[in-house]
Homo-oligomer: A and B are copies of this chain.
Amino acid sequence: MTLEEIADFIGINCQEKKEITGLNTLLDSNENELTFLENKKYLSDLKNTKAAAVLVTSENASEVPSGTIALICDEPYLNLARISKLFAPNVVEMDGEKPLIGGGTKVMPNVYIGKNSIVGSDCTIMAGSFIGDNVKIGNNTIIYPNVTIYRDCTIGNDCIIHAGTVIGSDGFGFANTKDGKYIKIYQNGNVTIGNDVEIGANCAIDRAVFKSTIIEDGVRLDNLVHIAHNCKIGRGSILVGQVGLAGSTILNAYVVMGGQSGTAGHLEIAPFTTIAARGGVTKSITEPKKSWAGFPLFEHKQWLKLQGKISNLLK
């Protein structure tokens, strides 16, 4: 789709015929992608963008670097939402290649495997599971019953996905219009899961808005865990039952999160951090190998001490 067509779709004028292949963030965009600036906090990213074009208000247009075309509009984020639909793939592909299934793989009854999908060897895909279009699954992986894997996701070797889990559902993204309507930001990324990952029952792992939600090698998720879009769960991390991560949370390697704990979005947690059960993380944790607890969060020992002080109020 050309930049001219995109501009036309949102009612602004631009005669560039440049072909745009997708949407992305300021810093991750390549020279064929379109990006946006809504929040001035990211002005420094704008200066470093390599994007073909950027949706931007007139106020910030002067900051657009010379190699990037400014698409000037009042509500860049809302227009990004509108445009995202143009890049959304089909919900279900009707055309394409039949799935390729490796040797030794058992596919039970009532399984659907979509177009262009590839399942490796020695896997077990149990009854009632759904494998969308263009999914790649490695070797020796077990998909338990009634699992749903949305299109374009990838899963490595030696993984176990327990029943009812959903991988690749849409991230929770939308822009507001002034009259209170929500415009969906189509989640055109995917979920990428490494090797030797085990995921419990009835979890929900959202696909990225751009690029990938990433679960690295060796991760263990318990039941009913919620992973929002664009999170990255580092190698060997352990998330106990009912943990919830908001969007774009980065857990570095070997983070442990106790049951019912959670994070706010857009933060990063240092390697080998432990969050106690019910802990709520609202800021990045930069120092590795420490233990934290509570909400608001304190170092675990401090939290225990604080609870002692609080209970003294009863005396």
Residues of B within 8 A of A170 (CB): 160, 162, 198, 200
Closest CB in chain B relative to A308 CB, distance in Å: 9
Q: Given the complex, which residues of B lie within 8 Å of A226, measured CB to CB? A: 222-224, 241-242, 259
Identify the closest chain B residue to A261 (Cβ).
Answer: B260
By the criterion CB–CB under 8 Å, are A223 and B169 in contact? yes
Kindly list chain B residues whose C-beta atoms are within 8 Å of the C-beta of A196.
181-182
A223 CB contact (under 8 Å) in B145, B146, B206? B206
**A110 engages B108 (CB within 8 Å):** no
Q: Is A218 an interface position by the 8 A CB rule?
A: yes
Query: Closest residue to A265 on the B side, CB-wise?
Result: B259
Interface residues of A in 191-219 (CB under 8 A from B): 196, 198, 200-204, 206, 218
Is there contact, CB below 8 Å, between B218 and A204? no
Q: In the complex, A200 Cα to B142 Cα: how many Å?
A: 24
Interface residues in A134-160 by Cβ distance below 8 A to B read: 142, 144-146, 148, 150, 160
Given contacts A92-B108, A182-B218, 10 further A-B contacts (CB under 8 A): A164-B164, A166-B201, A172-B223, A180-B236, A204-B241, A226-B241, A226-B242, A241-B244, A241-B246, A277-B280
A61: Cβ under 8 A from any B Cβ: no
Query: Is there a chain B Cβ closer than 8 Å to A20's Cβ?
Result: no
Within 8 A of B (CB), among A267-281: 277-278, 280
Nearest-Cβ distance from residue A189 to partner chain B, whole angstroms: 15
Q: B313–A306 contact, CB under 8 A?
A: yes
Q: Is the CB of B163 within 8 A of A144?
A: no
**Interface range on chain A (Cβ under 8 Å from partner):** 35 or more
* Binary contact track A215-235/B, C-beta < 8 Å → 1, others 0: 000101011101010000000
Interface residue? A41 (CB, 8 A)? no
Q: How far is the CA of A172 from the CA of B258 in the complex (A)?
A: 12
Chain B residues lying within 8 Å of A277, measured Cβ to Cβ, are: 246, 262, 264, 280
A255 to nearest B CB, angstroms? 13
Q: Which one, A75-83, A120-128, A283-291, is touching chain B?
A: A120-128
Interface membership of A11, Cβ < 8 A: no
B254 touches A180 (CB 8 A): yes
Q: Which of B92, B110, B184, B201 contacts A110 (CB 8 A)?
A: B110
A130 interface neighbour in B124, B126, B280, B307, Cβ under 8 Å: B126
Task: Give the residue of B109, B130, B236 whose beta carbon is less than 8 angstroms from that of A146.
Answer: B130
Known contacts A130-B126, A307-B296, A91 near B204 by CB under 8 Å: no
Q: Cβ of A198: which chain B residues have Cβ within 8 Å of it?
A: 170, 174, 184
Given A206-B223, A259-B262, do A236 and B164 touch, yes or no (CB 8 Å)? no
